[in-house]
Homo-oligomer: A and B are copies of this chain.
Amino acid sequence: MLTTTSYLVLGLVGHLGSPTSYELKRAVADTIGGFWSVPHSQLYAEPIRLTALGMLTEEQEQGGRRRRTYTLTDTGRAELDQWLAMPTDEGTELRDLALLKLYFGGQAGDGAVQRVAERAAEVHKRRLAGYERLVSSPPPNVDLHQLSILALAARYEEEAVAFWSAVAADPDLT
């Protein structure tokens, strides 16, 4: 019934207190987005569903932008708690278009693998720099668990930079 997106929203609302959809969007873009992305339209649609289910309450501004702010209900809090406490057997899915292209690299034309690899190396360098900036000067209301995740993500990005640099240097992996 509830999807992962639902729990993500419940968790964020719990963490942020009484955010608007736009604030959810910002929070996702800043941090979670790296390992669980959600398009912003979902961050408008999902709170509405959750409100209908009694997991959130909605309060709308009168006048101005007429923004809606959401807060957890006791039901929503209980649902979130129970989900957080349940271990999962799913591992990590390294969803990555460039890896998918490399996977089929044997079928690619001349130079294709190298060009893909060069771009991927750049992308991961940028992300790595971003994470390092975040870890060294974290925004307010980022806690230790969240920081540790950023550190793990940063380590992955390091691996990825090394990996793609090697592929770019020797696209046929001889």
Contact = CB atoms under 8 A, between A and B. Distances in A.
A160 B152 CA distance: 8
B159 A106 contact: no
Given A145-B113, A167-B148, A104 B87 contact: no
Interface stretch (A41-49, A61-69, A77-85, A132-140): A77-85
A94 B94 CA distance: 5
Most buried by B among A106, A143, A157, A159: A106
A167 B104 CA distance: 36
Contacts of A15: 104, 106-107
Interface in A21-40: 31-32, 34-37
Contacts of A153: 94
Contacts of A124: 91-92
8 contacts: A31-B103, A88-B98, A91-B160, A94-B156, A102-B148, A105-B143, A152-B159, A159-B159
